[in-house]
Chain A
Amino acid sequence: MSNDTIVSVEPAPSALLDSASRARPYRMKRYPFLALVLLAPLILFGLFGPQLNLHNPAAIDPANALLPPAFAGGDWQYALGTDHMGRDILSRVIDGARSSLIVALFGVALAGMIGTLVGMMAGFFGGRTDEVLMRLVDIQLAIPPILLAVLLAAVIGGGLTTVVATLTITFWSTYARIVRGETLSLMQRDFIALARVAGASRSRIMFRHVLPNLLSSVVVLATLQLGAAVGLEAALSFLGLGIQPPESAWGLMIADGRLYMSQAWWIPTLPGLAIVMTVMGANMLGDWTRDWLDPGLRRL
């Protein structure tokens, strides 16, 4: 070996016994528990509403008007109290859940389909098509959604169609923008060039190659928008532009309840809580989906 003079020999540092971490690392929840808990009522009510109802949500019963909820001095028969027309609030909340669910799903689905199509075309064909389509996006973004609904309502009146139309027109542009961006970057990839070289037709490339790669972003975006959709629907119903009586909608209930606020605080409050729960659950689900499917989409 070596003939060097050894000065000293120092024993190895001992293992650090207490390696309990002093910092808490970031943990991604494995399953969106909280989100699902919050959303469960909505889904349940949405699907099985009519069967679950104790009372007919539209049944007017003036004798039993303005009864407080069970936890504030009332009867368990009307668990969440009654409104100014004697209708059971719990039943109406459940019924409203159905409306919100259907409307939100439809709106987001339609917006998604149109937006994705437009975005794909803009990214795929580029040039003029791209410019024109993106101008459309800009125009749409310049009109705040509520005003859009106002306009639409002025034209076709209120109701379910108005809401779905508003949702669709409001949300499609976000899809278009993002899908366009993704399409543009996908177009740079080799497998597209290969498909072209192999002689695939343009629509085939678009739908067989580009679209499947876009799907995860689209799904994430859709889940993220569900919450906003429910919120927008509530606002429209509140203004009277959305779901019309005798159908129940949470926004509508809040609007009604406003007038009786001083006597019956529960009428506007409780449906609002339902909205908060639902939107929160939807947003959390959206975030979780995004983290799960593609953490690179953090920016969304």
Chain B
Amino acid sequence: MLRYVVRRLLFGLVALFGVSLITFLATHLSGDVTWLLVPMDASEAEIAAVRQRYGLDLPLYQQYAIYLQNVLSGDFGTSIKYNTPVLELVWSRVPGTLVLAGSGFLLALMIGVSLGINAALHRGTRIDTGLTLFGLIGQAMPGFWVAIMLQLVFAVSLGWLPTGGSGSFRHLVMPAIAVSWFSIAAFLRLTRSAMLEVLDADYVKFARVKGNPERVVILRHALRNALIPLVTFAGLNLGALLGGTVVIESVFAWPGLGKLMIDAIASRDYPIVQAGVLTTATLVIMINLCVDLLYGLLDPRMRNE
């Protein structure tokens, strides 16, 4: 078990390195960034000075080394636009994104999984067909469109909920639904098929044959085994969810990391983009690690690896 954990950790680190490299290269490949940092009418000398100050005249690999050093010591540079340390900015926005992603995830999990179980239990009936259809349509709706439709109906037409911003539970409702939408459908389909497979298994029959009440058969035997593929998928999904928050944050003006990054793109504020992507990637990798660990816990067969 310990070996398993260590291995996954190492892989995570390698992945992180890869991401940092990619983000670094990306921003530096877009051309000489010097001109962003100086006023339009700067002289050659001034430009050269700026270059030197930011270490932009060094070879690329050295720049990367410096970059890494900085990152590890917590220095992500300074925002070009706001002139504040990027770390502060990013750090202040992370909770917002986490809240949104977290609530979306929980919502999707609760609704999607229970609907999926229902569909599997009533396989072949109209409930099943209806739910599957719902899943199909739901997966086809882009998150941002759902967000806008929600706004249209509940904020603009009915006026029940605010169109955007944050600060209260009411502000969270629509964004969370929008974020979870796609995942609900995905979880529904996945749970349904995982359950169907498990329900056909002999050990479920055996559990029934022992005389267990149906509820116990479903929950203790079927679901526990169906959960295993579900957990892996849920973890991967969370990563996709984090990407989804980016868009939703923009629609609802929700103060999170995603919106920060999108705005930063528009204003060409590279340090923010870099730091944002790196942070998100770290989060995703950490989540994947947790998923792997959870998987090991759930399936005793894995523990002996």
Contacts and interface: CB of A to CB of B under 8 A. Distances in A.
Q: Within the complex, are A and B direct neighbours (CB within 8 Å)? A: yes
Interface of A: 23-24, 26, 135-136, 138-139, 141-147, 150-156, 227, 231, 234-235, 238-241, 251, 254, 257-258, 261-262, 265, 268-269, 272, 275-280, 283-284, 298
B243 interface: yes
- Most interface-central of A24, A240, A251, A272 (chain B CB within 10 A): A272
Contacts of A279: 139-142
Given A262-B156, A275-B141, 6 more contacts: A139-B19, A144-B242, A154-B30, A154-B265, A156-B30, A269-B152
B247 A235 contact: yes
B11 interface: yes
B265 A241 contact: yes
Contact of B124 (A26, A145, A240, A276): A26
Nearest to B145: A272
A135 B144 CA distance: 31
A258 B265 contact: no
A246 to B, nearest CB: 20
A239 B262 contact: yes
Interface of B: 11, 14-16, 18-19, 22-23, 26-27, 29-30, 124, 136-137, 139-145, 148-149, 151-152, 156, 193, 236, 239-240, 242-244, 246-247, 250-251, 258, 261-262, 265-266, 268, 270, 273, 276-277, 280-281, 284-285, 288
Q: Interface on chain B toward A: helix, strand, loop, or mixed SS?
A: helix
B273 A151 contact: yes
A231 B23 contact: no
Contact of B243 (A147, A261, A262, A269): A147
A114 to B, nearest CB: 17
Given A151-B23, A280-B137, A265 B152 contact: yes
Contacts of A284: 136
A235 B273 contact: no
- Most interface-central of A151, A153, A257, A262 (chain B CB within 10 A): A151
11 contacts: A135-B15, A142-B15, A150-B246, A150-B262, A150-B273, A154-B268, A227-B139, A261-B152, A276-B140, A283-B139, A284-B136
B193 A298 contact: yes
A158 B142 CA distance: 20
Contact of A254 (B14, B124, B145, B270): B145
Given A142-B285, A151-B22, A151-B273, A234 B152 contact: no
A138 B291 CA distance: 14
A276 B146 CA distance: 10
Contact of B240 (A144, A234, A241, A277): A144
A235 B266 CA distance: 16
A234 to B, nearest CB: 5
Contacts of A231: 140, 142
B27 A154 contact: yes
A103 to B, nearest CB: 15
Contacts of A156: 30
Given A135-B11, A143-B281, A146-B243, A153 B265 contact: yes
Given A152-B26, A254-B144, A239 B285 contact: no
Contact of A238 (B26, B144, B156): B144
A235 B18 contact: no
Nearest to A38: B140
A152 to B, nearest CB: 7
Contacts of A280: 136-137, 139-140
Nearest to A152: B26
Contact of B148 (A146, A151, A261): A261
Contact of A139 (B15, B152, B193, B258): B15
Contacts of B14: 135, 138-139
B148 A155 contact: no
A200 B225 CA distance: 44
Contacts of A227: 139-140
Q: Kindly list the 4 A-B residue pairs having the minimum CB-CB distance in the complex, ordered from nearest.
A: A144-B243, A139-B18, A279-B140, A280-B140
- Most interface-central of A150, A238, A272, A279 (chain B CB within 10 A): A150
A34 to B, nearest CB: 10
Nearest to B21: A139
B18 A135 contact: yes
B246 A142 contact: no
Nearest to B242: A144
Nearest to A234: B142
